[in-house]
Each structure stands twice: as structure tokens, then as C-alpha cells.
Structure 1
């Protein structure tokens, strides 16, 4: 039997520290570092700002993404840990958000890709070299593929 073993994921404490360091770099450099545009077969990084579903306050997170025409595509993967990330739960409650890219800001509306669209967008993530199928096996729920479409 040649069963493929799941990909390595660092311990949760390490993932959380890495996220904090990334946000700190963004903050300390006043946004000059920490965001980048995607390249062919490489994802970029954006800053998503949602409205907190309980507090109504603005909440920001830095996420990997790629362009799909006018849309931006990311995954609600919670560092490949269990459960959905808070930013995705916020978008489910209020899909209007803003994104900051390395080259500007954009108002967006979020939705979950489904069916053939989800399969196409997931396949694109796989082309970028990450073992998204393997990482997805670490979660008991399906990882939402999130489409951020231009608003207005």
C-alpha cells in the first residue's frame, strides 16, 4: 500500500505567531511590506477588512489570493485547522468588505464558490504547487473557496 501521508502543518502556536509577525511587519512598515501581487502560478497577499458579526467593528486579516478575471479568490482555511476562520463567519453575516492590495484598495462582495466554479478555482490553487487536497484532508469540513467580486 502506498498511502500518501498528509502534508506537514506546523503546530498551531507557531502558525499564530507567524500570522502575528506578518501583521506586525505590515503595521510597522505602514503597509509598504506584507502585501504582494500574485505572479504566474504564485499567489499574492491581500488585506481583507470585514465587519465583525457580533461587535460591528472593522476586522482585518492578511490572506493569500489569486486573480480570476475581475475577482479575487481566497480560501477560508483557518490555517488548515478545524473550524472556519472568524473573517469568513463575518462575511457570511455581511458579505460587503474591502480589500487592500499592493497596488490599491477595492470594495468587494464575498460569496462561496460552488459546484463547477468551486472545482475550477480549487484546481487553480493546486496549480500553484501547494498540496491543497492533502491539507484539506486535515479538516473535517469542506474548505470554502471564497470569491471577492468588485462591488458597485
Structure 2
């Protein structure tokens, strides 16, 4: 299988990935950003995107907001199909396992997510879909 990583082609996300790499993982001072690599559910290709996160213990909490769109983002659908992912946080890269937060976890975590990124509050009102939160827990640390 081809293990070439394909970056998100959306121009502003591709720019965010480029800035992440240029700054050693700190593209937006004061914001917690990471790079998530998933396996494409249809193509089988490795797909990388940039996301904001908050922490919950050992887990990284990701918000599948798609900026309030009525469809789930592709990265979320990909990790539902294959929950084994790779995260790059700062200069470190590691494997992890992703799962959707339970309703109770989501209720507890949404205030922290909105505090970290206030635009998520607007995204929740911009769509009729439930915006999932995803917990990604490291399985192995490397470089």
C-alpha cells in the first residue's frame, strides 16, 4: 500500500499544515494545533489535516465541526472506518487510537472546547447535525 501522505487540499488548511511544519508545530501562538493523519476509508491513502485540540487527561479532543457545515469532515469519517491514526503535536509524532466521545463526555468537554476556540459555539448553531467530539489516545510515542 502507498504510504505517501496526502495533505488536505483545501487552500487554508494546506497553508495551516505548511505553517505547522515551518514553525515546528506552533503555527498559531496561543492555540493548540496538531496534524492528524488518517487512512482514507475509500482510497486507502494516508490523509493529513490540521486541527485545533484540547486535552482531557492523556487524550487529545478533536472537534468534527467542518466549520459548521451540514456534512461531517472526511477525516472524521476516515477515523470511524480506521481508528488507528497518527498525530503530530509540536515536533513529536506518535500513533494513537481515536473514538467518538460518549454523550456524557461530550457534555462535559464542550465548555472546554468552546473556551479554547469560541467559533465552535457558532458552528454548533450553524448546522442541524450533532458535531461529534473525538478522543484520540496515544498508543505509542515516537520521535
Give, in whole Å, the separation in 2 of the partners of 1:38 and 1:149: 23
Give CA-to-partner distance per residue, 1:87-114, whole Å, 9 cap, x none.
1000010000000110301211111111
Q: Tell me, what secondary structure is at the counterpart of 2:42?
A: coil
Q: Which runs of 5+ in 1 are unaligned?
A: 1-15
Shift of 1:38: 9.6
Give CA-to-partner distance per residue, 1:49-84, whole Å, 9 cap, x none.
000111111110010012211110110111222200
Alignment partner of 1:23 out of 17, 25, 38: 17
Alignment partner of 2:25 out of 35, 48, 53: 35
- The structure number with the bigger radius of gyration is 1
User: What's the TM-score, normalizing by structure 1?
Assistant: 0.76
Q: Tell me, what secondary structure is at the counterpart of 1:151?
A: strand
Say if 1:53 and 1:89, in contact at 8 Å, map to a contact too: yes
Alignment partner of 2:43 out of 43, 46, 55: 55
Give, in whole Å, the separation in 2 of the partners of 1:131 and 1:32: 25
Q: Which runs of 5+ in 2 are unaligned?
A: 1-9
User: What's the TM-score, normalizing by structure 2?
Assistant: 0.80
Say if 1:78 and 1:84, in contact at 8 Å, map to a contact too: yes
| Higher mean C-alpha displacement, 118-127 vs 131-140 | 131-140
CA RMSD of aligned residues (A): 2.3
